[in-house]
């Protein structure tokens, strides 16, 4: 029995997981550079077949302890869905980005 186009889309949508990503960016990063960074992360997600629901800037906050010699950072929350096969690559790209102090990627049930 052949699958219809609607069934194929439904099967494809089931492969996507919902995620929340919180990341902290160095405080000396300009607003324009921050928007570019958020855009690059969103572009990575959409290029891998995911969709970005929202990107919320929480603003600069004081850190509980120094991270990479910074005492404060800009917090961003991104909610999206993506194929779980790409989550490791996303985390690796955040880890090597020198503007990102820390990140946490969580699968939302």
Residue 9 and residue 15: Cα distance in Å, rounded? Answer: 10
- What is the percent of the chain with per-residue pLDDT over 70, rounded to a whole number? 87
CB 60 within 8 A of CB 74: yes
In a domain, 61, yes or no: yes
Q: In this structure, is residue 94 part of a structural domain?
A: yes
pTM: 0.83
End-to-end CA distance of the chain: 32
Total domain count, the chain:
1
Domain boundaries, position 44? 15-108
Closest CA to 21 of 41, 46, 39: 41
Domain contains 49: yes
- Residues in the chain, how many? 109
32-80 pLDDT, tens digit each: 999 999 999 999 999 999 999 999 999 999 999 998 899 999 999 999 9
Joined together, the tokens standing for residue 58 give 């929480």
């Amino acid at each position: 029995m052949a699958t219809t186009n609607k069934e194929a889309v439904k099967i494809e949508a089931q492969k996507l997981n919902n995620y929340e990503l919180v990341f902290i960016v160095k405080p000396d990063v300009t607003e324009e550079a921050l928007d570019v960074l958020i855009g690059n992360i969103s572009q990575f997600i959409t290029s891998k077949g995911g969709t970005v629901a929202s990107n919320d800037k929480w603003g600069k906050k004081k850190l509980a302890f120094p991270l990479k010699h910074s005492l404060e950072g800009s917090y961003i929350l991104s909610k999206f869905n993506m194929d779980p096969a790409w989550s490791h690559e996303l985390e690796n790209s955040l880890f090597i980005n020198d503007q990102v102090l820390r990140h946490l990627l969580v699968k939302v049930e």
